[in-house]
Each structure stands twice: as C-alpha cells, then as structure tokens.
Amino acid sequence: MQLTRQSEYALKIILELAGHPFGEVLSSKIISERQDIPEDFLKKTIHLLALGGLVSTQRGTQGGVRLVKKAEQINIADVLTAIEGPVTINPCLAAGYNCPHQAECSISPVLARAQRAFLDELSKESLADLAQKS
C-alpha cells in the first residue's frame, strides 16, 4: 500500500491545524502557503476531512478551517480513513466481503494480522504527539 498525494496533504493539513490552539480558524491560503499544497487540491482535501468529521470550515472574511476534534483525539489512521475510506490491505479483509475460499484459505489470517498491526501502529500516536515532534 502506498499513500496517495491527497493522504499526504491531509496529514500536513491536520498537523498544521494541530500546531495551533484548539478551535483556532486558519485560512486555506495560509495552510496552502505553509504546507506547499496547491489551493485547489487543498479545498478538495479539506472537503474530505470535513466529511470524515475531523475539520469544519467557516466562510467569510474570518473564514477558514479548524479542527472539530482535539489533536489528542486524532491519529494517522483517522486521517487516512477520512481520505481513502476503510484501510484494507487486501479485498478479502474488507467489511462485507464474502470469499468463497475463506474456509480453506491460509493467507487471509496472516493478512488480517498484518492489517491489525498496521492500523495499530498508525493509531499509537495522536496528531498532538506528532505536532510536538515537528
């Protein structure tokens, strides 16, 4: 699995917001300039983050973007899920997928453990922890 450019941008946006007091509104222009993200791409990414319940937007001269949850309550897995959807390393691990070979499959349990480990690792540190390190 490779992160998309949009996921990378989403992480940069969330980290930028996490570096400011909770509830502070930052303009898209400021985020775009500080994180070197094209404004059109930034708007699309912010829209997905808003649909994922991580940020909200405010229009007008005092408008911009703010975190909906505190940075301590957000981790990388949350951001990736907001942008990419549920993280699965193989289609057989997706919710609702019915594999006709599941009963005799020896690979699926190994992939399931790997996926749990991957998501556990992405969930260990909050964005607040990461923001303090940068």
Sorted by where each starts, the structural domains of the chain and their CATH numbers stand as: 5-86+125-133 (1.10.10.10)
- CA distances (Å), origin 61, targets 10, 21, 83, 101: 23, 20, 27, 57
Which letter does DSSP use for residue 94 in this model? S
Say what the pTM is. Answer: 0.88
With 80 as the cut, is the pLDDT of residue 113 above it?
Answer: yes
For all residues of the chain together, what is the average pLDDT?
A: 92
Residue 59 to residues 56, 106, 121, 124: CA-CA distances in angstroms?
Answer: 10, 53, 36, 34
Q: Per residue in 73-83, pLDDT tens? A: 999 999 999 99
